[in-house]
Structure 1
Amino acid sequence: MEYTYTIIDSDATSNLQLQHYLEEYGDFTCAGLAQNSSEGTNIILKYFPDVVFVNLTENAYEYFHMVMELHQYINELPIIIGISKNKKYAYDAIKNGFFDYWLKPYNEFEIRKSILRLKKRNTCQNRTSNHLFKVVSRFSIHQYGRYSLSTSR
């Protein structure tokens, strides 16, 4: 499965390093880079990336507000991963629905575990969606417009 992502971070070096790690997986494409919450909100609403990486080291509460604001505009938020130099905002990130929280400097092993957990989650969701589609597909409309459950599988 292909994933698009956005990085919200004012540190260009950090952005390049994260992009380098994600390139190793081959199925991640950068949808955009933002330096602050306003740019980040705009990119998220414009491109609807699958994953958003947010550096919480500076202006963390501005980014938590950005996440709450996104609920006004879209039904399903992207997967959000918080990044920081310390654990100071980890609790708030989890309470705000972040998928994960990474510490800088980046740890390749932690990134790998998150990416694999992300892929596993999406695989499970796809299986559930496929199962639901199969169940719904079993319903057929008879010539008189009544619904019935087909017993064929």
Structure 2
Amino acid sequence: MRKMLIPFALCLIACGCEGETAPAPPSDHDLGNLLFPSAEHEIVTSLPAHESVTDSIPDFTWVQTSQPIVFVGVFDENVQIQNARVVNVADNVWAWHTGLGTGREGFITFAHGRNVVDGVIQVDAPPRLLESGRSYVWAVWAWDASGRTVTHSSQEIFFTVE
């Protein structure tokens, strides 16, 4: 079952990206709304908190959704959503999802997740540390059991690594 969830979760977030440009740092001026506005429930998050400064190996906490498919992503640019899909997957630098079989929904350490390179989760190696002096955004969302509908969504949370 675990081996089936990993490709399934990757399929849910992956889509083609057009062209390569240097990533702009994320900004916190547009944050504050649900990442997926069509989600029925808001996920309340905790650390790293909005505009916090953290070390390069943060922990992530949120109120559990009890959904079978949950995804947490760290992006080096604001997350862009179109038609209920992430379109800038190349800006996703770290990810965790329930199919990895690590951590527990509601609380994960940085070590529970994996690096993401060009929209693909690197499952064979532990994650590299986030870069000191850089800003990131993180968010968490969940799908229904069919994997078709985002039922829960957090806001984007802006943070800086010291």
> TM-score under structure 1 normalisation?
0.28
Whichever structure has more strand as a proportion of its residues is: 2
Whichever structure has more helix as a proportion of its residues is: 1
Of the two, which has the highest radius of gyration? 1
Which of the pair has the greater relative contact order for Cα pairs under 8 Å at 6+ separation? 2
> TM-score under structure 2 normalisation?
0.27
